[in-house]
Structure 1
Amino acid sequence: MKQFMDADFLLDTETAKHLYHDHAAKMPIIDYHCHLDPKMVADNHQFSSITELWLGEDHYKWRAMRTNGVDEKYITGDASDWEKFEKWADTISYCYRNPLYHWTHLELRSGFGIDKVLSPATAREIYDECNEKLKLPEFSARGLMSRFNVECVCTTDDPIDDLTYHKQVKESGFQIHMLPAWRPDKAMNIDKVGFADYVQTLGEKAGVNIVHFKDMVDALQNRHDYFNACGCRLSDHGIDEFYDEPYTASQIETIFSKAMRGMSLSALEIRQFKHCFLTLSAEMDAADDWTQQFHYGPIRNNNTRMFNAIGPDTGFDSIGEFNTATAMSHFFDHLNSEGKLTRTIIYTLNPCANEMIAAMIGNFQDGSEPGKMQFGAGWWFNDQLDGMTRQMNALSNLGLLSRFVGMLTDSRSFLSYPRHEYFRRLLCNLLGTDVERGLIPNDEEPLARMVEDISYNNARRYFRFY
């Protein structure tokens, strides 16, 4: 019987152990998509407690606590830090086979050097030990990033952001790169409350009087140029699905005008606008040689009562079902036909689309560079043992796993970097198992290169950050 989460956790063969310990583990982390607060990095935030660091904005843990019957007071409410942590320690003892069980103990071990199993019996000593360490400089926001061997992070930033904190970090001489990533969802979501107010703010930031849709495009181009000058090389779009509704310039002008006057829009008009917006965004990215990301497939804010009480991004989103393959194909085919298809990463929230995406990206690889079109790592509900493995298997069967740009945290937490470790262990176990089953050669040089490339080198080359 193996010991729980020992040094060879998830590594079932001697080849897997060698590939991980001698190759994957030593590689730096490029976390090219996260939701860290740039101000916390700029200020080198010192956390008041493990509760702030661990539970502050972690909707994964919040969902588990609610499922375990924990009152909202101890989740997003006004309970004390200790009371919230105590409820989490009780919940984790019910999380066997949930990825939170692995992540929690990896974070304790890698972040704090704590090998104890978290439970109601150990909660107080772990809470106190973590809090004592959090007083030390090496456990500040920047200290934790250094501790996990992070080389670069890309935050998620709205076009109206002035990127002050990114500039401060760069000017401070901090050795870890913190780069912005362009996330223009609010400018695309014409159907959301507050769209007209947002457009007005966008115009003010860009110095453009937005009256017509073309003015909005000018304002976005102004901000795109500004982000580019600040080191941005990556965009991201959070979408429900891809869109395929034909539109004309005059139709988009009419739709935009209606939205700015507070008039209701039809479902067709909304989809036409989003189709147009994503196309124009992709053209901007191609012109500046950026990489574009598409995260698609969620149903957001399912619980209206809780949305009204505590807002979005609080643990009430889920996996959607969208038949979007044809629209995705037409979208990329149009850009490719116009010579405006830049490097692209597609993430799906529904794993039933894994093989579709792994096949789709092969349609638009053009030989200009390795892995130009990427099937993104297991995302959100899929960044766990089964989800990551299924994504890598689909990519292996229908594409080139060796050209994959690897893992990301997609997290708001400075303790989430062990997700990279988790991914790397799974990768090495897949390859090691294949070697020992005689499915691939036991050839040290290409195996080591493949592991190091997927862990770090591919991302380093692909994104052209610096």
Structure 2
Amino acid sequence: MNFIHDDFVLENQYAKDLYHQFSKDQPIIDYHCHLIPQEIAEDRRWENITQIWLYGDHYKWRAMRSNGVDERFCTGESSDWEKFKAFADCMPKLLRNPLYHWTQLELKRYFNIDKLLGPDTAEEIWNEANKVVQADDFSARQLMVKSKVKLVCTTDDPIDDLRGHKQIAADQFQVKVLPTWRPDKAMAVDQSQVFTEWYAQLQEITDFQINSFDDYLKALKIRQDYFHENGCRLSDHGINEFYASEYSDADIAKIFDKARSGEKVSEREDLQFKSCMMYHFGLWNHEKGWVQQFHYGAIRNNNTRMYNQLGPDTGFDSIGSPNTALAMSRYFDRLDSSDQLAKSIIYNLNPGDNHVIGTMIGNFQDGSAAGKMQFGSGWWFLDQKDGMENQIEALSQLGSLSQFVGMLTDSRSFLSYTRHEYFRRILCNILGKDMEKGLVPADLNLVGPMIADISYNNAANYFDFNL
């Protein structure tokens, strides 16, 4: 039997029936990803499998470095074949790493290759895969259509002109591609150069002179309105922790003036400014009817030497351990106290926070929308079988799994839609095993619709996408 087969991950007949009857053929709403809109607009093509598979993939780079592969085969000057061969050589050493499953799923789904990737099969798979890559129907848009994607939300800076999104919309591409508001740099006063450069770009794109903090908020609102006009219905916030420090208007005005002049702010001032900005963002999200997403708990760019050499997002980040439960509570409560808390999805990077989030979301469910507060799917280092299972277990025990909006790719790759398949198989296997054990009624008519909802329907109903 091939390693990737029809019943991959599905351990009993109930799990198989749930997947094949209720989940497998559901379309995909990928409401959080890092695809580059211009690549969709231009319907990007690739010369070989390395370009679509290894370029920019810090998961693979980390694994290769761990197996003694020199940097020139990861991000360096080696040829595309040499990089592919170096990754293939690592594959037998990656058993039990999620990359093994992801790799074989992608080879099967997009290249119809059943062979296990390794040193002995690398050249054969390279040649077979490249024939597919170079075919007329292998392009960014065709990969999305083949994967049954109905909608994706990219991740976009407020100063982005959204040119790619406009072009995609004008082309009437059958897959809807919407922007997501990601204003992290707008509150990065702890990074003087980043903030002052971004502040200058905000003035330029809005053609609005910013002389005060109130002006700064007005300029940001101009951009938020622009995003909304171009289909944006979600915000996303990459935060180290939740921010809920006390501050006054005078405090923020002073901190803003220091930051825009390039002066260093203190740690206390940084937390105050971020707390203020996150509160305003929360109010605006509610006003617009957007869903707000919070990704927290990463320690980024741990390796200074490699950061200076390669820059961010190159595989040198790790799980943090922020003590953020109280701040999370205060943040949501401050918005909820005036009934201005938007629909929210919380993603943790530290699995130790699973039960914190599982209980926290229950504090702010108010009946206004099913699953208003969401415990997001396993993110980044938790985007694997164990991480997904633990997230599903915590949500099941402490909340309502049936209202879960399901999976997303969080990826820069057009081949990552197999993560939706992987998640769905894992979900069906959990419920299938419960049915076999008598922990859940062995009734497909009861359990099946819940699987269909988590696979697709809940996301379609939760977001304001007008599908």
The answer as to 2:15 corresponding to 1:16 is yes
Residue identity opposite 2:306 in structure 1: M
| 1:444 Cα deviation after fit | 2.3
Q: Are the counterparts in 2 of residues 74 and 84 from structure 1 also a CA contact under 8 Å? A: yes
Residue identity opposite 1:352 in structure 2: G
Residue identity opposite 2:56 in structure 1: E
1:27 alignment partner in structure 2: 26
1:249 alignment partner in structure 2: 249
2:100 alignment partner in structure 1: 101
1:449 alignment partner in structure 2: 449
TM-score in terms of structure 2 length: 0.99
2:118 alignment partner in structure 1: 119
Q: Aligned partners of 1:388, 1:27: CA distance in 2, in Å?
A: 19
Q: Aligned partners of 2:88, 2:101: CA distance in 1, in Å?
A: 14
| 1:445 Cα deviation after fit | 2.2
1:255-275 deviation line (CA, Å, top 9, x unaligned)? 010011111111000000001
Q: Are the counterparts in 2 of residues 137 and 143 from structure 1 also a CA contact under 8 Å? A: no
2:429 alignment partner in structure 1: 429
SS of the aligned residue for 1:406 comes to: coil
Residue identity opposite 1:304 in structure 2: T
Q: 1:53-72 alignment to 2 at 5 Å?
A: 53-72=52-71
Q: Aligned partners of 1:135, 1:107: CA distance in 2, in Å?
A: 17
1:52-71 deviation line (CA, Å, top 9, x unaligned)? 10000100000000001111
Residue identity opposite 1:374 in structure 2: Q
SS of the aligned residue for 1:93 comes to: helix
2:364 alignment partner in structure 1: 364
2:400 alignment partner in structure 1: 400
SS of the aligned residue for 2:346 comes to: strand
1:410 alignment partner in structure 2: 410
| 1:93 Cα deviation after fit | 1.6
Q: Aligned partners of 1:173, 1:370: CA distance in 2, in Å?
A: 32
Q: 1:63-462 alignment to 2 at 5 Å?
A: 63-192=62-191, 193-462=193-462
Structure 1 runs (4+) deviating above 3 angstroms are: none
1:25-57 deviation line (CA, Å, top 9, x unaligned)? 000000000000111100000111100100001
1:337-359 deviation line (CA, Å, top 9, x unaligned)? 01110000000000000001010
Q: Aligned partners of 2:395, 2:71: CA distance in 1, in Å?
A: 40
Q: Aligned partners of 1:130, 1:214: CA distance in 2, in Å?
A: 55
Q: Which runs of 5+ in 1 are unaligned?
A: none
Q: Are the counterparts in 2 of residues 39 and 165 from structure 1 also a CA contact under 8 Å? A: yes
Q: Aligned partners of 2:454, 2:382: CA distance in 1, in Å?
A: 18
Q: Are the counterparts in 2 of residues 153 and 177 from structure 1 also a CA contact under 8 Å? A: yes
Q: Aligned partners of 2:22, 2:444: CA distance in 1, in Å?
A: 11
Q: Aligned partners of 2:136, 2:370: CA distance in 1, in Å?
A: 41
Q: Aligned partners of 2:227, 2:260: CA distance in 1, in Å?
A: 26
Q: Aligned partners of 1:446, 1:152: CA distance in 2, in Å?
A: 28
Residue identity opposite 1:82 in structure 2: W
Residue identity opposite 2:112 in structure 1: G
SS of the aligned residue for 1:242 comes to: coil
449-458 vs 185-194, which moves further: 185-194
Q: Aligned partners of 2:405, 2:286: CA distance in 1, in Å?
A: 19
The structure-2 alpha-carbon separation of the partners of 1:391 and 1:403, relative to structure 1 and needing over 3 Å to count, comes to same
Q: Which runs of 5+ in 2 are unaligned?
A: none
TM-score in terms of structure 1 length: 0.99
| 1:174 Cα deviation after fit | 1.0
1:407-449 deviation line (CA, Å, top 9, x unaligned)? 0000000010100000000000011111111111122223111
Q: Aligned partners of 2:82, 2:337: CA distance in 1, in Å?
A: 58
Q: Aligned partners of 1:95, 1:241: CA distance in 2, in Å?
A: 32
SS of the aligned residue for 2:352 comes to: helix
| 1:228 Cα deviation after fit | 0.3
| 1:136 Cα deviation after fit | 1.7
| 1:182 Cα deviation after fit | 0.4
Residue identity opposite 1:18 in structure 2: D
Identity of aligned residues (%): 56
Q: Are the counterparts in 2 of residues 138 and 147 from structure 1 also a CA contact under 8 Å? A: no
Q: How many equivalent pairs are there?
A: 465
Residue identity opposite 2:377 in structure 1: A
Residue identity opposite 1:373 in structure 2: M
SS of the aligned residue for 1:137 comes to: coil
Q: Aligned partners of 1:378, 1:408: CA distance in 2, in Å?
A: 9
SS of the aligned residue for 1:35 comes to: coil
SS of the aligned residue for 1:445 comes to: helix
| 1:3 Cα deviation after fit | 5.7
Q: Aligned partners of 1:357, 1:194: CA distance in 2, in Å?
A: 31
SS of the aligned residue for 1:44 comes to: coil
Q: Aligned partners of 1:339, 1:205: CA distance in 2, in Å?
A: 33
Q: Aligned partners of 1:444, 1:50: CA distance in 2, in Å?
A: 40
| 1:82 Cα deviation after fit | 0.1
Q: Aligned partners of 1:270, 1:427: CA distance in 2, in Å?
A: 41
Residue identity opposite 1:363 in structure 2: N
Q: Are the counterparts in 1 of residues 206 and 223 from structure 2 also a CA contact under 8 Å? A: yes
Q: Are the counterparts in 2 of residues 321 and 350 from structure 1 also a CA contact under 8 Å? A: yes
Q: Are the counterparts in 2 of residues 200 and 210 from structure 1 also a CA contact under 8 Å? A: no
Q: Aligned partners of 2:87, 2:300: CA distance in 1, in Å?
A: 24
SS of the aligned residue for 1:374 comes to: strand
| 1:5 Cα deviation after fit | 2.8
Residue identity opposite 2:274 in structure 1: K
